[in-house]
Chain A
Amino acid sequence: MKRKNKSLIYTLTGMMVMTSLLSCKKNFLDQVPDDRITIDGVFQSKNETEKYLANVYGYVRDEWLQMWDYGEGQPWLGCSDEADMTWARSGYNTYFMNLGAWNASSDFYNLWTKYYRGIRSATYFLQRVDECKEMLNDPNIGAAGIKTRKAEARFLRAFFYFNLIKQYGPAVLLDDSKVLAPDAPLSSLQFARNSFDECVTYISSELDKATADLPLSQANTSNFGRPTKGAALAVKARMLLYAASPLFNGNTDYANMKNADGKQLISQTYDAGKWKKAADAAKAVIDLNQYSLYNSDPDPMKNYQQIFTVNWNSEVIFARPKGNYDGPDDDEWGYHCAPRQASGWNGVGATQQVVDAYQMANGKQINEPGSGYVETGFSSAPTTYTTTGTWNMYVNREPRFYASITYNGCQWINPNLNIKVELYNTGASGKAGSYDYSRTGYLVRKMINPDMDINLGQFQKKHYVLYRLGEIYLDYAEALNEASPGDPDILNYVNQIRQRAGIAGLPAGLSQNEMRDRIHNERRIELAFESQRYFDTRRWKIAEQTDGGDFWGMNVDKGTSFSDVSFYKRTVFKTRVFQKRHYLFPIPQSEIDKDRALVQNLGW
């Protein structure tokens, strides 16, 4: 009996100990704290609501990132006829795209899903921002401030939609009444594409709504970077220009691109009136009288450089304030463009085609009589921008050439470094010696700050100019030349651009066709490397000629010194493939698989 008691005591003690250890808390599994951040909480707080909108802004892409994919970059330079991205490994997909080695499943530069994320967040912001009492009661914001913020969100939605349709063509339009539920059954999400014209109409009306509530200019310097009326009108102007262009205006190549219900996705009849709308939209930006062409430096070459390096100058309509990937102190663009001699990655090559497009200092094109262009030999005297011994091809070119192109034997953009760029084969930035070499024998230098010094870690905090008045002038001239050829404004605005560039204006009396060619070329030069050329050659429907076939550069396999002429031989560096289907990006195959109503673009 005694033993039994002892055991009992052990047992009871043991159980008590265990009970206290286990301490059966009722809420043992109920751990999620109530005061963690929730989406409802975000729209209670002014600061959090501002962050939510800043998050929507975050979908505005940094267009300096043209080198790789990895979810950040864009192919607009590498897949246009102005540049070649030398890297050819996975992730640097422009190389493969230019060979035609991609398809709807490659998922290259899938901005379809990314812009729709921005659209969702912008829509959600529009629905909920009115709940934010703290914002309403803030004397600096109030109802008027909320209205402006809503206009910003509406602008961003429209901006994202425009980016979608310029890449993919007709998109799926979702109105701003609600966001789609994450648990909506797939059967309820079988949406068809809207026609291109429906998209343009919708985006225009959204931009109009935003224009009404956006400020004419940002009075408060801390709001620089937020859109103004001018930004909304500029987006509209470019979009209407695209909509009037041959690719989307009566393009019978797309006759078979229809929804199941027969809806034609791209208009089959040419409408000349679209050019008029485009011209009017561009003129509306000009007529705001908020912007002027940047013209501060007497040296037109430096002046042209500064359009991109002087933040918020008079020409800027809409810019992405933080145009760098890693932070304010790094410059991915500068790194990728700079020659190895300046510790750069030496791989954003300009093509011979774009080099040839630049005019002479006298304003004439190189193949024009009296241009003074000499293809071969070395110069015997210095000029404003070249030294003695420069290959004649690069001598006496227009100032914008020297602001945009790094060629063999030129001085590196930062004069303090005193680097003479060696792009010939065995040169310090040449092909022999590293896989970081320019395949074309040229490098792009536009939009780099001349003070940049990679070795010293010296970088400028700058913005990426998305819309500027220079473009609007050219938009206007181009549309007007189609809508009412011979209108004096055409010559006026094109020549304002040329004069600012430091070259003679176009003569009067050009035919509509001649003028069209000159405007196209002017646009190619003025807006070079600004993510415009890719879309221009497509909307003009000339990409089969410009973006396919042989691509030219200097002979990077040759050359042992600056004076070795074997380098300066026009050489095919790559034969690109451009097929009709490449006019528009394929909608990602996974999207086509999920949404049976989604019609794929032609040929994909």
Chain B
Amino acid sequence: MKLVYHASNQFLLSMKLTVILLTLGFTQISASGFSQKISYHGKNVPLQKIFAAIEHQTGYSFFYNQEDLNRSEPATVNFENTDLDKALDELLKDQHKESYRFSIKGRTIVVSAKPVPSVKAVPQALTVSPPSVEVIGKVLNEKGEPLSGVSVVVAGKTTGSQTNANGYFRINANVNDTLEFSFIGYESQRVAVKKSLEIEISLKPVVKAVEEVVVVGFGKQRKLSVVGAQSTVQAAELKQPVRSLSTSLAGRLAGIIAVQRSGEPGYDDAQFYIRGISTFTNANPLVLVDGIERSLSNIEPEDIQSFSILKDASATAVYGVRGANGVVLITSKTGKVGKPQINFDYNEGVTQFTKVPTLADGITFMNMANEASTTRGGSIIYSQDRINKTISGTDPYLYPNVNWLDEIFKKTGGNRKATLNVSGGAPNARYYVSAGYYNEQGLFKTDQLAHYNSAIGLDRYTFTSNLNVTASKTTEIELGIGGYIINGNYPGTGTSTIYGTVMALPPVTHPVRFPDGKIAAQNYGAVASPYVQLTQSGYTTEFRNELRSNVRVKQDLSFFTPGLSMQALFSFDAYNYHRIARTKYPYTYIANGRDANGQLILVRSDKNNGTDFLGYNRSNGGNRKFYSEVSFNYDRGFGKHRVGGLLLYNQSDFVDGFASDLISAIPFRSRGLAGRATYGYDDRYFVEANFGYNGSENFSPGKRYGFFPSAGIGWIASNERFFEPLSHVFQFFKVRATYGLAGNSQIGGRRFAYTDIVGDGTGGYTFGQNIDVSYGGRDISEYASSVTWETAKKTDIGVEFKTLHNQLNVQADWFNENRTGIFLRRASLPGFTGIANPPYGNLGITNNKGIDASVEYNTSFGEWRVGIRGNFTYAVNKVIENDEAAKAYPWLEARGHKIGQRFGYIAMGLFADSAEILKSPVQNGNVRPGDIKFKDLSGDGKIDAKDLYPIGYGSVPEIVYGGGFSLAYKGFDMSVFFQGIGNVDIMLNGEGIVPFQQGGNRGNLFSNITDRWTPSNPNPNAFYPRLTFGNINDNYQTSTWWLKNGRYLRLKSLEMGYTLSKKWTSRYGIKSARFYLLGNNLLTFSEFKLWDVELGNGRGTTYPNLTTFSAGVSLKF
């Protein structure tokens, strides 16, 4: 049986669609471009030829059995704008040798010879053997996409067929026969033939590691054979209602340490590290999108095919001097052969701050200010009269009581996200095109009267298009174009400044506005009004855009030798940034009492600095990057042996278009070779060796190139014969071990360290009678030093197993990394050498070790499907050497502690009485009962810098974990994801945390100010010690008193969805329709109460993180 399928039109159609999408910007995506009317004229034309013409005109494809059609007669037709079905009717009814029937299913026209006798024609009672029927059906995969090439056979017979590119098959069978469907990578399925002639089958993919292919550095590898440590996350998990992908990573991949320190639109990227921090310099991992170094923050998750991180040396050594901090690999989606698949997703959310600090009200503020002064012998700051008038609230203009946070923040904001993508293709060309839109409205208030928009918010448009063309049987060309545009809008004053002002301006200083609309503010130069800064200081617009493009050519060279292939990649990325600030300072007033008529006496307070008009200020940035790469790949099996190899050359060239000086204007370049050799025996033993050989411009010619080798071994014990008795316990068991080197050449801004830099020094001097003879300065600003990259020696031992009938999948790794030669400025150069900027050297040594693990459990009970996932990362680092001179006391040493270790006093509680103060070591400043008592480590009878002790874990968590479960029942699905961090702390400091740091006329207070020590209520566990005015003693020095546990557990996301029954949706041509509710950052469990715990150190003056409640719909066509 020979099946013919005409696909050429499919390809044209796809191309057409691609072009339309790209040029019209998705304004039109209906298929109205295809006619269902046909015109054809011909005499004695074979049916096949007419069908071909119809395909060409309509975009439909024909499906028929060649043998059936061989019996057909040529036809003479005259169609002019004839309806398709009428034309087919006419065409087929004139056939005499054979009678045909046709049916139109979607875009496929099935033409078949009428079985004789037909099912209906045979009276059932008379049949002896089951009737023979022609079964026509369609096979889909688990996502509802058609599967081509599925083998269909009648069980126990020789009859067989195969599905076409659209998943259709046709087979003759008898009722009660069983059809067997099988396809590589999918579980076979058996279906009994019933009377119904048309059936639809869904095949489930086989969850079988053997078949899985994973992305590795510079290529792909069978998952089975991978010996390196890497983690992958399902792209679907990253689809959160947030702008930046970086904020979705914490807790989702074993090995990622991440925290999000701000929720400000456009500036809310999370910091993330792979397996923590091992260096004093740049610890950011290398992020590769489609093989090219790119930022991940504006990648639309919908466009991601796979997201993996490479953690150990065997995985990252190929990246050489770029690989020491780990690598993130993202590949974007490409099209698959088939009809256009259209996905549309839209969600709209309401946002709130996870937590806004609560501030003390004006009455409390004044009482506390008086207490802070009088408790140390001062006089009162605010008279009782003023306090009483404020309490009465009768004159809020002279006696205001303003909650500045309420004045700047709205209760809710919003975001919305829409994505649309289309993919498909023919065997020789596949496409994936997508467009995304993300909009966020921040939670800052605006002034309705202003004629411009100072609201905070942004719009982001993303697009991606990947086209794969099979240019010849052995050649594939891949073209990827993607990018984004972000339009941001911000108030005229920076958000952290506004927030800082809130913490600096007391609630009782002045009102927001006066009754006649005049704006209130203190004298120009004093603390500004946050309201003025937010709503009256103009606005800033910002746009950022990036264009990413890459062309990849893959050439199969198996005609030289089987298994050999070559790949070349060239990419060009360009980034632009523009910021235009239109700012002003308005006329402001202060009230100086009321006149005889009771009218407010208002005095201008802007001191002639106010203007009615907006000023203008612009800043720009931009850069471009070329990257090119050529590689040869080899992969071939010889019986039980499997050999692979890779040899790759790459180079990159990055230019900062807005460099500020000659040196940084020089292109940033690197080049390197990478290689890999793999050998596997019988899927049991695996050996792998990798190397990177890189050159970095930063180093002197003799020290420019470095060699970074690594090796690993793997053993799949479960494939051993002797393992068989255990196979009911472990269905899969693998151990692996790797060791190798990787490098880091990012030298913290100091380029070309082998040359010295002559700079402007002190800036020079001016001489002359009229003080106008100026000379600029000249001096060596950076000394040359003979440095090279830092080297990471990484060890990884991992185990993977599957148990409970393949349902529980566990992967765990232990790692240890010794980083040597870390770039540091010499710390041990005494000041009397007079060297302003000590030269760099490869001086630092660190150790970083830990474990990361992930667990996955999937099972189903009847129609219930349940999945449980969890992962855990623990990484702890230690400074071995930092070039500092040995300290006078061992506890002052940074060596042996974490990178960035905090040092502070050890608080021993609050002084109970004067007697205790007298017998304790001497502390600085005005010390009274209720002040914090510190530990005198040096024993010299006084508290000073010799008593600073390494305290706390620091602001980068040592532990990051996440986990959740998903449930599905029929159309319902639900997933819950929790994420948390541990071994992390928060150091409180700054104005606001320090009450009245600058006296009673400045500063704001948190509402917990009442939790303080007072002589009448000497609570030893109070939050605040005895109140002070200003820093008059060491109470607010860095100490364990202000160190708070920063751990938390967060309900990071909760999603509930319902997929409508196909019965309903297919009527409207919708393949699948799902409605969902999605929440982000819904609940936080933390012992830290002052502000969103994830914001970390300081006084909470960062734009808080957001809670999002979103509802959406996801449609597939």
Contact = CB atoms under 8 A, between A and B. Distances in A.
Interface stretch (A46-54, A465-473, A485-493): A46-54
A384 interface: no
Nearest to A95: B1030
B523 interface: yes
A177 interface: no
Contacts of A118: 834
Contacts of A577: 925
B103 interface: no
Interface of B: 379, 471-475, 522-527, 553, 555-557, 559, 566, 568, 570, 607-608, 628, 630, 649, 651, 662-663, 666-667, 669-671, 695-697, 701, 704, 752, 755-756, 758, 760-773, 775-780, 783, 785, 826, 828-836, 838-839, 841, 884-888, 924-926, 944-945, 948, 991, 997-999, 1001-1002, 1030-1034
B834 A179 contact: yes
Interface residues of A, number: 106
A460 B945 CA distance: 43
B570 A435 contact: no
Nearest to A463: B771
Given A39-B780, A106-B945, A14 B566 contact: yes
8 contacts: A10-B472, A11-B557, A31-B697, A51-B777, A121-B779, A183-B783, A186-B885, A593-B886
Interface stretch (A1-9, A129-137, A503-511, A514-522): A1-9
Given A38-B756, A99-B926, A455-B607, A182 B838 contact: yes
Given A52-B778, A88-B1031, 9 more contacts: A38-B756, A55-B765, A55-B779, A87-B998, A101-B1032, A103-B945, A180-B833, A183-B783, A589-B945
A113 B758 contact: no
A4 B830 CA distance: 70
Interface string A280-304: 0000000000000000000000000
B777 A343 contact: no
A147 interface: no
A277 interface: no
B87 to A, nearest CB: 39
Nearest to A164: B832
A560 B671 CA distance: 75
Given A10-B472, A595-B830, A38 B758 contact: yes
A191 B607 CA distance: 55
A436 interface: yes
Interface stretch (A17-25, A196-204, A265-273): A17-25
Given A31-B667, A100-B924, A224 B829 contact: no
A420 B232 CA distance: 74
Given A31-B669, A345-B525, A588 B628 contact: no
Contact of A18 (B568, B697, B1034): B568
Contacts of B755: 32
B636 to A, nearest CB: 18
Interface string A558-583: 00000000000000000101000000
Contacts of A38: 756, 758
Interface of A: 3-4, 6-8, 10-11, 14-15, 17-18, 21-22, 28-33, 36-39, 41-42, 48, 50-55, 57-60, 87-89, 95-96, 99-106, 112-113, 116-121, 123, 171-172, 174, 179-180, 182-184, 186, 189, 191, 221-226, 311-312, 321-322, 328, 340, 343, 345, 431-436, 455, 461-463, 557, 575, 577, 588-596, 598
A596 B944 CA distance: 20
A98 B472 CA distance: 83
Contact of A29 (B649, B669, B1034): B669
A39 B756 contact: yes
A225 B767 contact: yes
What 3 A-B pairs come out closest when comparing CB atoms?
A120-B834, A58-B762, A105-B945
A322 B771 contact: yes
B1002 A435 contact: yes
A151 to B, nearest CB: 15
Most central of B522, B768, B832 by chain A CB within 10 Å: B832
A186 B830 CA distance: 8
B829 A594 contact: yes
Given A14-B568, A51-B777, A57 B765 contact: yes
Contacts of A54: 764-765, 775-778
A182 B839 contact: yes
A580 to B, nearest CB: 14
Given A10-B475, A435-B1001, A595-B830, A18 B570 contact: yes
A436 B839 contact: no
B503 to A, nearest CB: 13
Interface of B is mostly: loop
A181 to B, nearest CB: 9
Contact of B831 (A95, A343, A435, A591): A591
A463 B770 CA distance: 10
Contact of A32 (B568, B752, B783): B752
B779 A52 contact: yes
Nearest to A102: B924
B762 A59 contact: yes
A29 B783 contact: no
Given A121-B779, A186-B828, A434 B704 contact: no
A593 B890 CA distance: 12
A121 B761 contact: yes
B88 to A, nearest CB: 38
Given A55-B762, A120-B835, A593-B884, A11 B771 contact: no
Nearest to A225: B767
Contact of A436 (B526, B775, B838): B526
Contacts of A436: 525-526
Contacts of A59: 762
Contacts of B666: 31-33
A201 B1066 CA distance: 101
B762 A311 contact: no
Contacts of B769: 221-222, 224, 311-312
A99 B832 CA distance: 29
Most central of B474, B628, B834, B886 by chain A CB within 10 Å: B834
B671 A29 contact: yes
B747 to A, nearest CB: 14
A88 B669 contact: no
Nearest to B756: A39
B832 A174 contact: yes
A102 B785 CA distance: 36
B831 A7 contact: no
A442 B557 CA distance: 89
B765 A60 contact: yes
A29 B696 contact: yes
A8 B778 CA distance: 60
Given A6-B472, A29-B697, A103 B944 contact: yes
A354 B783 CA distance: 48
A89 B475 CA distance: 69
A30 B701 contact: yes
Contacts of B671: 28-29
B815 to A, nearest CB: 32
B890 to A, nearest CB: 13
Contact of B778 (A51, A105, A112, A434): A51
Nearest to B758: A37
A179 to B, nearest CB: 7
Given A29-B669, A99-B926, A224-B767, A186 B829 contact: yes
A557 B1000 CA distance: 12
B834 A7 contact: no
A433 B924 CA distance: 30
Contacts of B695: 29
B249 to A, nearest CB: 33
A7 B887 contact: no
Contacts of B770: 221, 311, 461
A7 B777 contact: no
Nearest to B767: A225
A222 B768 contact: yes
A89 B998 contact: yes
